Structure 1
């Protein structure tokens, strides 16, 4: 009996562990979103034109003609936010609504909706989404 209970507990922990990362993942892009795309070790400003079912982003580079448009995956895509943008912030495995207060050196100072300024913090781009 103990072995069955132990096996069941291990199975459930493993099964739940495979679900949690997917539940926390946000789509890397949305249509109309401003972003930066990595191309030959440099980040270029871009705008998302389409999103497919695999969460790939079809982008256009700012200042370049449409012949440079391309599909990019999350590994080459990073969101770009400006002061005042409404965002979602990942904190302790849960997404909270908030707003960008400042942008500096690839970090965002954010405030959480409904919380006082003592909760404001600087976060890396991986914790911020649309």
Structure 2
């Protein structure tokens, strides 16, 4: 009996442990999203056409479809503008918010339902649609 309970406990802990990270995972991109893609050391504006688990299929704005490609995290960054509604990753959980300001490498955001003392500058990896 004790072995069965121990086995059940280990099984549940393992099973739940595999689900929890996926609950916090957010897609790198979403169809229709505006973004920037790194190509030969320069960031180019792009639009997401399709999404896979860790990749985004993009079209470069102003270029024909022969340039379309799948890009991974290292070459992709979301592009948001002031006033955009976004989700912000904070301590493993996603919160709704809005972009207040944009710098070259950071977004100043505000969290919905929280006062301005929670406003902060965040890196693009913490912001999603």
TM above 0.5, one fold? yes
Q: Cα–Cα, structure 1 residues 7 and 79, in superposed 2: closer, same or farther, change >3 Å?
A: same
SS in 1 for 2:83: coil
Aligned to 2:125, the other structure's residue is in SS state helix
Q: Deviations over 1:72-96 (max 9, x none)?
A: 2223211111101000001111110
TM-aligned CA deviation for residue 51 of structure 1:
1.8
CA distance in structure 1 between the partners assigned to 2:10 and 2:120 by the alignment: 37
Question: How much is the aligned-residue C-alpha RMSD, in angstroms?
Answer: 2.3
What is the correspondence of 1:81-96 to structure 2 with a 5 Å cutoff?
81-96=80-95
5+ unaligned residues in a row in structure 2: which ranges? Answer: none
- Are 1:48 and 2:52 counterparts? no
State the distance in 2 between where 1:86 and 1:23 align.
21
**Counterparts of 2:11 and 2:121, CA distance in 1:** 38
Q: Which residue of 2 aligns with 1:60?
A: 59
1:26 aligns with 26
The DSSP-based 3-state class of the residue aligned with 1:98 is strand
- Note closer, same or farther for the CA distance 1:63–1:12 as it changes in structure 2 (3 Å cut): same
Aligned partner of residue 20 in structure 1, secondary structure:
helix
The number of residues matched between the two structures is: 129
> For residue 128 of structure 2, what is the aligned residue in structure 1?
129
**Structure 1 51/116 Cα, relative in aligned 2: closer, same or farther at 3 Å?**
same
Counterparts of residues 98-109 of structure 1 (less than 5 Å): 98-109=97-108
Rounded Cα–Cα distance in structure 1 between residues aligned with 2:101 and 2:24: 25
Q: Which runs of 5+ in 1 are unaligned?
A: none
Q: Give the TM-score taking structure 2 as reference length.
A: 0.82
